[in-house]
Structure 1
Amino acid sequence: MSIIGTPVKRKEDPRLLTGNGKFTDDIKLPGMLHAAFLRSPFAHAKIKGIDVEKARQLPGVAAVYTAADLHGKVKPVPTMWYVPGADLKAKDRSPLAGEKVLYAGEAVAVVIAEDRYIARDALDLIEVDYEELPAVTHQEKALEDGAPQLHDDVPRNLALLWKAGDIPDEVFEQAEVVVRQRLYNQRVIPNPMETRAAVAQYNPGGGEMTIWCTSQNPHIHRMIYADVLGIPESKLRIVAPDVGGGFGAKIATYTEEAVVAHAARDLQRPVKWVEERREHFMATTHARDEVIEVELAGTRDGIFTAIRVKNTANLGAYLSTFGAGCPTIDFGLMVPGAYQIPHIGQAMSGSCKTWWSDWS
């Protein structure tokens, strides 16, 4: 009997449908503290100063961290997908913004307190002196000369250029029919019922760390966070409880989970963080946001002979864990669909506020 084509009865449904699932926010540990992140209201700004003393003095606050407090203790979070053949200029993401913020919602400080309400109140006591800078949100405008520059060592905000195949113009000039169209695949926000969350517990005796988090990708999370936190993989355990939806957003690794884990290690008490819905819209990875120009050549009786695609993709201020692969290799594999097309030309490129993909 083959498993292929055989119905498999789902076993997890009764537990979840009757409210007996266990999610990250359901985890309650003795002595647990709670984290809240202060986020930038600006898409692009210098941080001229940050004063956290009033927040630190609020009763119930255990600690307040800024980028300076984490320097040398928590490494930047890297991207993981280095696309072969692409001149990739990946920028690792600092756990908290230090000198500049590069997107609206980037975390600049974190409060650790006895409960989430005190932590949230303490955020209002932190004073940040911002110098707002020009921002750009459209990928094509970000590539223009004179556009606001996010990273000094990434000229024109161009983070990668990837090409797969070239098609001579003669193929299109000799085709019986050529259709050209410019499409916009709008930005989408993965919006699960459960926002991101993490609980970290550190055992100082054995140097072991356990992180419960809303992960679709626990093995990759362990590999990355072990490096970011300076913990051997053998001493880091990632637990993914029931996940209330992910839609790809919980595949990536983020800075917040690493910061929460550092706080648990530093304070030697468990720490929990649960993302607010507004935070989710601002700070969790988005998808799509691609300007796609397509040329399709064929015969009058409906046979496709060539396709050439240029995809200019917005990948944000930093590459997410697998950000470089989504508008390049992943997108490229979908271009022909179910059709056999003799000539396929594809190229992709990206920039930091904008990641540009050019298939030509």
Structure 2
Amino acid sequence: MSNPTFISIENVVKSFGSFTAINDISLAIGQGEFFSLLGPSGCGKSTLLRMLAGFETPDRGNILLDGADVTQIPAHRRPTNMMFQSYALFPHLTVRKNIAFGLVQDRMDRAEMGKRIAEAAQKLHLEPLLDRKPAQLSGGQRQRVALARALVKRPKVLLLDEPLGALDKNLRIQTQHELVRLQKELGLTFIIVTHDQHEAMTVSSRIAIMQQGKVLQVGSPETVYEAPSSRYVAKFLGETNIYEGVAGSRDGEAIALDSDEAGGRLLGQTAEGVREGDRVWLSVRPERIELKPSGEGLSGTIEEVSYVGVERRYQVRLKSGATLEALRINRGLGDDFAVGDPVVAHWDARAARLLTQ
């Protein structure tokens, strides 16, 4: 994290009855970051976001925002605003009045209110829609109105709870890029909750991967994808091949792995603290695997080929009986492997990661 710490979450715990939703989490989020809380349903990410917003109070621990302890400060007194997945627009109010709602509650001067509404409408391309009702808008337009309403109060932090979940794929991708543009333009700290790995990778400066109320790993999209800290993180962030084995000798930054499961000796990046003889796992992404008709590597037979436009996916049955997934970018060169072809799978040691858990 290069930006100075703006939000500190310190040893926060939150339970509902006998269920622990947040289990001793500590995080530092920088000023002006686009930070993602990523994980499956029930991992605690929305509960953590609600505590940042002030809608829930930690049982233990503290939350600091811009140096001030806001742990016990109610939501309406925090310099944050939240955008919900449902958008929660008032159907009987126009777009203009929906955007203005929070400012009216704050009894803002009419001139300043008009200025802020115009500014928000311009940034989010809503000027032609200001006199329409929500029922007259598309899903993407309603999403932009909800975003304008959240931003018009000029919060220091914008909290986004699965804000794009109701949009179709193409509109979701378009809106992701719009959010990134807006965040950079405004320089605000954005914190988004999502279960969509692609979305987190697209918008985030850093990602916190959560499971069962804990943070498993924090890092840039590239770091968490290329250097996962565990098998769970490796699998959650995308497709991967994982083989169990015993750590062998080192060769510079690489280490050998003898794997009966894969049926050979594999090479991967050295994991910190791994010693010869340790039980470890090797993770290698399908796109990092090269398939050749012959040569050194793991031998197998093409069992299935899937054409998915931009790429071809291959399932290889290794001689050990295990399967291996590989993919190649489709260049239209007609040099495809077919079902039944013998192949050898190879990868650079820097493309694979040794995991201790």
Q: With the length of structure 2 as denominator, give the TM-score of the two structures.
A: 0.21
Q: Which has the higher contact order (CA 8 A, sep 6+)?
A: 1
* Greater share of residues in strand: 2
Bigger share in helix? 2
TM-score, with length taken from structure 1: 0.21
